[in-house]
Amino acid sequence: MIALGATGLANIPFMALVATIVPLLIGFVWGNIDSGFKKTCSGAQPIVTFFMTIAIGSSTNVRTILTAGSSGIILGLVSAALGVAFYYIFNMFLKKENRNAMGAAIGTTALNAAMTPAAIAAADPTFAGMVDMATAQIATASIITLFLCPFIVAYINSKMMKKPGNAVYIREQKRIAEEQSSGQVLQNA
């Protein structure tokens, strides 16, 4: 919302920004001061996300989902591809022993992102007509990246396991050595 408001693409009232940012800041400060509060809120987050997505889904038209399907699939593929590209760029700055394949999962689209269009439309009603389509696109992209992510990470991990000097390779070699030595101990017993 800040980016849309600052660029002039949306007419978001200042108080709507304050109403969005202040609770975030309160949670940030309180969560860093009180670990009990942080634990309580992190446990409640999946439940809140679940009910918010039910509310958004109940107002979504089935035709909108079918219409947004192909563009949502493209959005998901682009998101996954950009995630892998940024992963490789980021890894260029890491030492080989600090690299792992989990960073490739950054290209996933979180399902709670489907709530963003409704939040923006609540702040600037001129976007209200786009909420259903944008929500369907993001939800479809989320499903696509949810499906692709394990395969991308597994593929990159298998490549990393073959490269000497890499943290994944080193851990795998240690695991194999430990299995072999424990197997030799059992054979000698």
Model confidence band, residue 168 (pLDDT cutoffs 50, 70, 90): low
Structure confidence at residue 64 (pLDDT): 64
Q: What is the pTM of this model?
A: 0.58
- Of the listed ranges 30-44, 85-99, 157-171, the least confidently predicted one is 157-171
13: left (phi over 0), alpha (psi -120 to 50) or beta: beta
Residue 95 has pLDDT above 60, yes or no: yes
- For the segment 28-65, what is each residue's pLDDT rounded down to a tens digit? 899 889 888 888 887 776 677 667 667 666 766 666 66
Structure confidence at residue 29 (pLDDT): 92
Structure confidence at residue 92 (pLDDT): 78
Query: Is the C-alpha dihedral spanning 53, 59, 62, 68 positive or negative?
Result: negative
The enclosing H or E element of 84 equals helix 62-91
- For the segment 115-138, what is each residue's pLDDT rounded down to a tens digit? 788 888 887 888 888 888 888 888
| 8 Å CB contact between 138 and 69 | no
Looking at the 3D structure of the chain, how many domains does it have? 1
More confident call, 79 vs 174? 79
Report the half-sphere exposure of 51 (CA within 13 A, side-chain side): 4
Read off the tokens for 102: 């989990």
Residue that the structure tokens 């860093």 belong to: 32
Residue 114 has pLDDT above 70, yes or no: yes
More confident call, 6 vs 80? 80
Structure confidence at residue 56 (pLDDT): 60
Model confidence band, residue 111 (pLDDT cutoffs 50, 70, 90): low
Q: Which domain holds residue 18?
A: 2-188
